[in-house]
């Protein structure tokens, strides 16, 4: 589903966004949320307030709202690195749809399971939450092992709070845990840089006039450390982008014309 294709359809028929997509009663925007197509769903901001509310408050034949669509587990997460960031993205989608949905529809229950969208989200994401916790703890542990060679950086303990993470809301993945991971990785990179400067300086002082020995030793010693930073830095950038980036939806997207 491409935003450009939807725009062309709406040029031909401006009522396309309001037309039911199939026999179940869902519109293209319900499918856009279910398939996590942010460019398509962002087009909802180009509709009039009346039409937008009409779409947002529409439920399908089983009383599933557009927020129930956000509560489903997306099958399009392979492009996101790691279960923790995948869980964060899913939460961002749910929060965005929840934010623009009228309050009286937030607790709507579907007919099939008689559960709200929030309960559906929690049910569908239990496995991803567990994988995300294991992913973040594994990253924290591996970083701690490297950090122990430099200085005692036990930031892995930050992810093991008494009683564990909140299993009812799962909102820890939205900002709290990624922020702690960012801080941990940043301090680790800083410690690695400081250690390499200190190590190289000491070698040059001790082996004054013997640069042909100190330089190769410094380079060889930096290979495993540089490899570790090379592997972890993309994760650092992804966490930074997903947590503090512009967000999922583009509220200033171009109009249908």
Domains contained in the chain, number: 2
**10 and 52 co-located in one domain:** yes
Is the Cβ–Cβ distance between 36 and 93 less than 8 Å? Answer: yes
**19 and 75 co-located in one domain:** yes
**89 and 182 co-located in one domain:** no
Q: How many distinct helices (H) and strands (E) make up the chain?
A: 10, 0
Residue where a domain stops, chosen among 83, 104, 129 = 129
Please give the angle made by the CA atoms of 131, 34 and 27, to the nearest 5 degrees: 170
Could you read off the pLDDT of 34-61 as tens digits, one per residue? 999 888 888 888 888 888 888 888 888 8
Output the pTM of the full model.
0.66
- Cα separation, 242 vs 195, whole angstroms: 30
Residue with tokens 């939450």: 129
- Cα separation, 3 vs 159, whole angstroms: 39
Phi/psi class of residue 82: alpha, beta or left (left: φ > 0; alpha: ψ in -120 to 50)?
left
Query: pLDDT tier at 122 (50, 70, 90 boundaries)?
Result: very high
pLDDT reported for residue 159? 43
Residue where a domain stops, chosen among 129, 148, 174 = 129
Please state which of the ranges 16-30, 46-60, 76-90 shows the lowest mean pLDDT: 16-30
Residue 157 has pLDDT above 60, yes or no: no
**21 and 78 co-located in one domain:** yes
DSSP string, 44-98: GGGS-HHHHHHHHT---TT---HHHHHHSPPS--TTSSSHHHHHHHHHHHHHHHH
**122 and 199 co-located in one domain:** no
Among residues 177, 223, 184, which one has the least CA distance to residue 82? 177
Query: pLDDT tier at 161 (50, 70, 90 boundaries)?
Result: very low
Among residues 63, 8, 73, 78, which one has the least CA distance to residue 35? 73
Among residues 119, 236, 118, 239, which one has the least CA distance to residue 174? 239
Among residues 89, 92, 94, 66, which one has the least CA distance to residue 76? 89
Among residues 114, 115, 113, 66, which one has the least CA distance to residue 94? 66
**Does a structural domain hold residue 60?**
yes
**179 and 213 co-located in one domain:** yes
**14 and 121 co-located in one domain:** yes
**125 and 39 co-located in one domain:** yes
Residue 110 has pLDDT above 70, yes or no: yes
Query: pLDDT tier at 69 (50, 70, 90 boundaries)?
Result: very high
Range of the domain at 97: 3-129
**136 and 65 co-located in one domain:** no
Please give the angle made by the CA atoms of 83, 85 and 87, to the nearest 5 degrees: 65
Could you read off the pLDDT of 216-254 as tens digits, one per residue? 777 777 777 777 777 778 888 888 888 877 766 666 655
- Cα separation, 159 vs 177, whole angstroms: 7
């Amino acid at each position: 589903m491409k935003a450009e294709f939807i725009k062309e359809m709406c040029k031909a028929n401006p009522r396309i966004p309001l037309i039911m997509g199939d026999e179940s009663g869902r519109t293209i925007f319900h499918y856009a949320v279910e398939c996590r197509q942010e460019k398509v769903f962002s087009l909802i901001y180009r509709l009039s307030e009346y039409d937008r509310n009409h779409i947002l408050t529409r439920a399908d034949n089983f009383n599933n709202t557009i927020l129930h669509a956000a509560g489903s587990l997306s099958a399009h997460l392979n492009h996101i690195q790691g279960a923790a960031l995948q869980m964060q993205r899913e939460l961002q989608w749910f929060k965005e749809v929840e934010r623009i949905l009228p309050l009286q529809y937030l607790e709507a229950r579907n007919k099939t399971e008689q559960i709200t969208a929030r309960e559906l989200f929690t049910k569908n994401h239990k496995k991803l939450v567990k994988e995300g916790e294991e992913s973040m703890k594994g990253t924290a542990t591996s970083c701690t092992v490297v950090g122990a060679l430099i200085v005692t950086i036990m930031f892995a303990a930050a992810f093991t709070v008494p009683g564990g993470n909140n299993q009812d809301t799962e909102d820890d993945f939205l900002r709290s845990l990624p922020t702690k991971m960012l801080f941990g990785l940043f301090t680790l990179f800083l410690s690695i840089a400081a250690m390499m400067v200190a190590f190289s300086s000491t070698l040059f002082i001790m082996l004054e006039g013997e640069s042909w020995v100190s330089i190769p030793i410094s380079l060889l010693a930096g290979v495993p450390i540089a490899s570790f930073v090379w592997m972890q830095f993309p994760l650092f950038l992804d966490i930074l982008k997903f947590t503090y980036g512009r967000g999922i939806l583009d509220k200033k997207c171009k109009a249908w014309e």
